[in-house]
Structure 1
Amino acid sequence: MERMKRMSKRSTFLLALLMFVFAAWPAGLIRAEESTTSTVQWDSQNPTTLNLGGSPAQLKVWSLTEKGKEDVTQKAEWISGDSSILKVDKGLITPVSKGQIKVVATYEKQTVSTTITVKSPYSKLQLNPSSPINLTIGGESKQLTAQGVLTGGGTENVSGVEWTSSNAAVATVEDGLVRPLAKGVTYIKASKDELKAQTIVYVRSSSQALVLSATGAKSVFLGSSPIQVSATDVNLTGGKTDVTNTAEWTSSNPLVATVEQGKITPMDAGNSTITASYHGLSKTLKINVLPTVEKLVSSKASLTLETGGKTSLPSISAYLVNGAKKAVQSDVKWSLSSESAVKIANGKLVAVNPGSATLTATVGALKLDIPVTVQYKVLKLTASEKKYVLVAGQEASIPTVKAHMAGGGILDVTNQVSWVGTTAAVTVANGKVKAVNGGNSGIKAMYMNKYVKVPVIVEGAISTLTPSFSSADMNLKGSKSIKVIGIYTEGKKATLSSKVKWTTSNASVAIVKGSSIKAVGIGNATITGTYQDKSFNVEIKVTPKLLKLVLSNKNLKLPKGSSQVLSVNAVYDSGATTDVTSSAVWTSSKPSIVQVTGGQVKAIDTGSSSIKVVYGGKTVATSARVLK
């Protein structure tokens, strides 16, 4: 009985367990006889290769069952082996980067996979232009374009390119635009996916030199005026431009000295380096700012020279406010009370004539006077000709030579001197100097251990000589530059303005200084230019310059219907005055109120008008009021 009870309990437990299993197990698995077997497969039209940068493509997957074929693309679970190469979403595949990746689709526990290759549509990347690029600092930028060479042939512009410069200090690049910054070489590189291209860029300065008006080192004193330094740019063809205001100026120590557009201002004792920079070039000037100077002292209290002699300028030192002694020779400005006895030339005192003068050394606001006395000595030789310009084979008479003797006497020693040519290009014989070969040379006259040199320039023969104009009208005190072009027999052209010998038929009307014609008086003159055996004339007419117009009456008041005659005089810079009433142009701002003809003013109607007179480029005006 007890055993039966135990078996009954066991049966009840097994039955309950079986019912639980059936309840929990998926119905489809229990009723296997009701399921349908399916097979998952790829669509035969699915792509296996995509171009990077191209459009996404759709993969399809089919479920094959006994009931037929079903597109389960949207139902399947999709996985990309590497989403950095290829992204997949419900079968839609999007290329991201070059590579080969496996795509897996799973449907109802069945899995299929395929390999997709992502490749570039281009065989290579190239730049346009591809040749080396030459840029200049401060010049225009250069636009580069990245092009892809298609695998099927041809090219197309590529977007989304990454641009880099190997040396951004020389040139930068942004979206292919290359901007030059500093002198040097850089490589501009473009990359797109795994493709790369590059070109070389040379950045040069548009200048060959930057020149400062002051160089080396300079001492200044506290409290002294600012120093103005100019900067000159010398371009690649030798042309010069003042860039003082456009150059970049810096001071290494602004506490000691500041600089702005070349103006250096001392601020405190110490040292600073002033730098000017322009188009990649730079120049420096060392500034030593010293404490205020209390007094100056000279190495010589006085100087005595003999005529014709020379001596170095004395050394000058400064006692500073802090008690220190400083040599300031390079900062001294020298001047003479008179140059009749002594002159300053190339850092030397040169005795000219017996007499005396005061030599003054100036440093900042302080001055120091040094007496100078000149006594007689043996004098020099002088030649009547400053230089010769000859054609090969041409002769000219030797110059007159005079000896300036002690005591003031002057002797003609032309026949006593011995002549030599300084080179084989010229010879001196029988009172003639003869040009033998082309080039620069000279002749030297020797007499009593003294000598004088005369330069000789041997040139080619001129075939024609042509001035820039053959006549000109000028105003008194005006000037006009003249350019002379010469053509040598071998065909070479040259500007000879400075070499032409100028004469004037009337020095009271026009003269020539250098290559500029000066109008000095009223009248006509003929300017003649001569070079070698060629000459030409330029006719000059000098007339007075009109300064102003003067009306006989201003601020007219006329009754209606009346008239009044005005006159106008032209005043010239020569002091002459001429009545130009009939020649001037008269106009009224309101002809309905006032009419004017040749100076005659007619009052037409009440009101006000302005009368303007024009003559020779000058204008004068007055007001006219018509009363009832």
Structure 2
Amino acid sequence: MKRKSRFMLILVSLVLGLFMFGGAALADSTCDPYNTYDPYNTYDPYDTYDPYDDSDNYGDYDEGPYIEELVVNTEDVQIAVGGKPATVKITAVCSDGTQMDVTKKCEYTSDDEDVAKAAKGKITAVGEGECTINAYYYDETYGESEVDIPVYVVAGNELEELEVKPESVSLSVGGKPVALKVTGIYTDGSKKDVTKLCDFESDDDYVAYVEGGKVYPEDEGSCEITITCDDVGTTVEVNVTRQIKLLTIVDAETEKPLKSVTLEVDDYKEIYVIAKYADGDTGYVTEQVAWTSKKPEVAEYCDDDGAVVAYDKGSTTLTATLGGKKVNLTVKVK
């Protein structure tokens, strides 16, 4: 009887031992994702997945390619007011080695639009000064980035003076118009034909008017043409006479025609110019004609004196011009 009781006790102990051993093994297998028994592996209820933890069993996290920087093809931009816009090129350099021209895809903003503005890679000067242009770019694959571009704006080459040819205009009623040529002189000394850029205005359209840079005669008289370009101006005197058939130079005392005259040094001779018109009438036009001298150092016509004035020994030819007609006077100085 004692042997039987001892045997039953041993059997129960074995069953309990097997049950406890199997339960421990089962518990260990639920804690081990690889289902291997590790006597040192204990279950941690606070162990959670961390995508940035390199030691985690699920591996490393890959954030994908991105824009490392936007590169501008120049360190800064220098432009002049009124000059051509500056063009920049912006390249997006990405982490995977990709490079993209994003110049026209960027959004541009200026911290001072009174100095410069920008759009699609073109920077335009507005006024003198300094400012910064910000270029911003966004891409669905590579993300966003931005870059600043320093801009320096200086004063442009400004128009300083207008030069007009001819300096004065003589026309005949019913005659052909005279074209004006206007040359702009700039602060850097350069010159440019600005005729087509000018505004012309006559102070008496009944005498002469301007159209397309040409002065047209209307009626006998005088007027002044004002020419302006970029707030710079000048004037041209216009004289309109009746159509002249012939000009004659005469002695002021005798009114006899003169072809030549001989004078002493520092001497003078008063003369008149008479015009014969197409309708047969005549009239004095001395103050209306334009005078030239081949050798002004020898002699020339002086408007203030109404006379030919001799300066030095020699010979020269004076020419009076009006209404497309000319008359010459030979002057000898002894």
TM-score for both structures, normalised by structure 2: 0.41
TM-score for both structures, normalised by structure 1: 0.25
Q: Relative contact order, CA 8 A, sep 6+: which one is greater?
A: 2
Identify, as 1 or 2, the structure richer in helix.
2
